[in-house]
Structure 1
Amino acid sequence: MRSADATRFLVNETLALVSRLRTVRSFSLSTPMVLAAAVSAPAQAAINAHLAHVAFDLRRKLRAFVAWLRSPDSAGLSAAQTQARYVLLKLRFNNLLDQVDIFADVLSQRSEHGIGTWVAGLDVLAEDALALPGGYYTPPPLVCFLERGHGAAIRRARTRLPGGDQNPVGVIQIPRERMIGSGIASSLIHEVGHQGSELLGLTTSLKQVLEQRMAAGPKAEALPWQLLSRWLNEILSDCWALGHLGITATYGLLSVVSLPSYFVFRIGTDGPHPFPWIRVKISLALGAALFPHPQWAALGRQWEALYPTTELSADKRDLIRRLEAVLPAFAGLVLGHRPAALRGRRVADVFPANERQPDQLRALYDAWQQQAGQREQSAPSLVFAVVGQAKADGRISTDEEVRVLSHMLSHWALNRARNYCAAPALPPPAAPRSTLTLKPRTHAPRIKH
């Protein structure tokens, strides 16, 4: 039998959770920002509806638990058994606070002068890179935030949040130190690629093709293909960035992985990322296949000069040689893959590769020098591709690059805010059907760039 003191303690603790739950308010009421810095209307509606749903469900369960404690139905349970039920509710409360913190990281930053508007512009860039023509999927809302760190990361939409709930939006973390330059687009669209590849099921379908290739090929090539298959998820995200940005994506990647030589040549065969030296080479092979031009070979020679392989052990040199030997065939296989989700089209066909060819980008840069207004009418990823190509060609200074991109990020954010003000109000999305379970905290891993 449970004592009256134990019942009173648990009732008070549960009601305290109910009181603290009242402090979880809609971000629309608590987060100040200028209109241009706000996340998109669909993202804000999805976040607020999700948290309201979780809070309402938890409040109902807490009050039902208090009513049960006070009823004769609970009298036969011991204090320990009753405490165990309370602890599950408390864990659920902590899960909700973890979810609030995830979205608060995104939204509270929007109040920073200047930074908030730039981050809203990055939202527009991310949405542009995810919106493939052809209606292959319904893209979820995406929101960005800055954080000090070496790499970018994404918490994909429709994956599990703490507590097991489905994430209503994709949350992309961008390294603060990369603001602002054309390289920021490489990191951002790489993370968008994780979301897009998952929506299309590319990793799963391509792994099957690679397994068939390994089974049919010579045994000497088995290890390189096995490694490429193991690294496929990250490679596809790099390919997504390449398909939208051209050589800008590879220069951005080169900036990320320019580390001491020990790390550049640290060959781990059990992780999801290619080791940095070969990762750049994979990017170059995919880029040369998508956008044939001598610039890829020139950048490859530059990379080899920065990190020569001559001092490596014979085993490492041999593995690198074997990997490089299969890269042209691998690039052709990836870009020529026709998954069911694309309804007969190749992976290469869904990217705007025709308008991102180097000569096309150079011609656009020249045209924009004469009529800058044309730049403001162009897709955000195209703007970054043009500016990045100009930087690669030595035609634009770092100061000019920062000035142009700062202006464009603010322009996209302001333009989106104007469009939402002019559009009729949309009803909030229906709250998802409750699938909540009381369980210990579980976190969906964020994918790191």
Structure 2
Amino acid sequence: MTEPAQDRQTESELAHWRLAVDALADLDVIAAPEAWQALEDYLQRRVRDRLSEVVSVLIAEGKALQRKLGAGGDPAEVRQAVLRLRTRYLQVETILDFYGDAVNSRTNPALRGLLRGYDTLAGDSMAAVLNRLGIESPPALVYLDRGLGAAILRAGIRLWDHSHPSPAAAIKLTRHNLAYPTALLHETGHQMAALTGWNTELAEALAAELEPRSAELAGLWRGWAGEIAADVHAFAQAGWAPVAALANVVDGPTPSVFRIRFADPHPYPFLRVMFNAALCRSWFGAGPWDDLAEVWRRRHPLAAAGGEMAALTRACLDALPDVVDVCTRRPMAAFGGAPLSALLDPRRVSPAALRSLARQAGPSLLTSAYLRRREPLRILAYLSTGAVLEPAAAADHQARLLAWVTDVGADAAPRTYHHAA
């Protein structure tokens, strides 16, 4: 092939990818304008501005390549740069599609109001700790997806080029848990623990506490610290409601609930449920979490785990009181030298405390805008246990919870649509 033909081919390829990059700049193609409008103003501006900034960098890169090619730059170097542009385009497209799908889930008016309420509650959850520590709390963007478990793309995570942090805490709620939403508080716990540095500190504290018992236990709990931190955060904000929702998600055949999966940061299901029940028992005494734990012991007897796994599980169960104390009562540098319970007192979300809140509020618990802003997480905790305690009336409890969350969203509804360039 002649040199001019090579140059023309390279120029053609560059034109292809520049056009593709330019098309990404129209964010109203990524998500419908009415879906963007459904976001709270600050969140909308932050997400749109960050995504526009990411695309602008790619546009500038394409223009620079065009200038280099026009100035007679080395065709081989330009071609390699075009291939890099293609790779970066695909990375940017993936990020935009991710946020576009999340935003587009709000085109349905009913779901729009509900997700906006969950945005607000997720923001309240993170701010409860971060604001007290002088750390800026990121906005939350909650979206709905399939599957069993929730997930989070943390705000501040550096994207592919290490210069554009993710603009929001993007939290996936699963459809089956829409009315059992305490997984939301687990995911916000991941964001809080990352911003405060608690993950690393908790990992070392757990390992140091358990090392005298067993090096194996110390290593396992160190590896599980990130998920343990998120579970503890959800417990401290919602009491016993998260353990009931968790048990529904992680249950399965007995061999699977005792299986330690390679590279899985979660404790295996049996132990995770028992740990969450132990949190409740330590702070609240006896309660429905004990019934749940007993059902699990009968449904998944230790004898069925096998010799080594049964022995490991017994050792883990024996250590649970110490693990709970480390997680909730041990002073941590991440929290300014205080324990987590000094910032999030679990006693405020005990069943007795939540019943007292509901009794004092009366009918206004579900209607008062003042209470929605003053006690949002405690009301969420109270409403999240209704269907568990009264399964025969689960549909009524679900309707009340979803209506209340939608009212939270209405309080935060944007007034105008800001189109960020």
Aligned to 1:108: 104
The more displaced of 195-204 and 288-297 is: 288-297
What pairs up with 1:79-228 in 2 under 5 angstroms?
79-132=75-128, 133-164=131-162, 165-179=164-178, 181=179, 183-184=180-181, 186-215=182-211, 217-218=212-213, 221-228=214-221
Rounded to whole Å, the distance in 2 between the matches of 1:256 and 1:139 is 28
Aligned to 2:40: 40
1:275 aligns with 2:268: yes
Task: Work out the number of aligned pairs and report it.
Answer: 414
Q: Between the two proteins, what is the percent identity of the paired residues?
A: 23
8 Å contact from structure 1 (residues 50, 168) kept in 2: yes
8 Å contact from structure 2 (residues 171, 184) kept in 1: yes
Q: Which amino acid aligns with 1:262?
A: P
Aligned to 1:19: 19
8 Å contact from structure 1 (residues 206, 337) kept in 2: no
Aligned to 2:340: 347
Q: Deviations over 1:87-125 (max 9, x none)?
A: 112222222211210110111111023122212211112
What pairs up with 1:246-265 in 2 under 5 angstroms?
246-265=239-258
Which has the larger share of helix? 2
* TM-score, normalised relative to structure 1: 0.85
The more displaced of 99-108 and 79-88 is: 79-88
Rounded to whole Å, the distance in 2 between the matches of 1:267 and 1:96 is 35
Cα offset for 1:331? 0.6
The RMSD of aligned alpha carbons is 2.7
8 Å contact from structure 1 (residues 365, 390) kept in 2: no
Aligned to 1:65: 65
Cα offset for 1:151? 1.1
* Residues 377 and 206 of structure 1: CA distance in aligned 2, closer, same or farther (over 3 Å): closer
The more displaced of 142-151 and 367-376 is: 367-376
8 Å contact from structure 1 (residues 358, 389) kept in 2: no
Equivalent position SS for 1:39: coil
Equivalent residue in structure 2 for 1:322, among 297, 315, 322 = 315
8 Å contact from structure 2 (residues 38, 106) kept in 1: yes
Unaligned runs of 5+ in 2: none
Cα offset for 1:369? 4.4
Rounded to whole Å, the distance in 1 between the matches of 2:161 and 2:63 is 19
Cα offset for 1:32? 3.5
Cα offset for 1:214? 4.1
Rounded to whole Å, the distance in 2 between the matches of 1:238 and 1:193 is 7
8 Å contact from structure 2 (residues 278, 321) kept in 1: yes
8 Å contact from structure 2 (residues 133, 336) kept in 1: no
Rounded to whole Å, the distance in 2 between the matches of 1:394 and 1:81 is 68
Aligned to 2:296: 303
Aligned to 2:324: 331
Rounded to whole Å, the distance in 2 between the matches of 1:125 and 1:135 is 19
- The structure whose RCO (Cα within 8 Å, separation 6+) is larger is 1
Q: Which amino acid aligns with 1:159?
A: I
Rounded to whole Å, the distance in 2 between the matches of 1:388 and 1:406 is 10
The more displaced of 5-14 and 19-28 is: 19-28
* TM-score, normalised relative to structure 2: 0.90
Q: Deviations over 1:255-298 (max 9, x none)?
A: 11121222112234653111100100111112223333443333
Cα offset for 1:2? 7.3
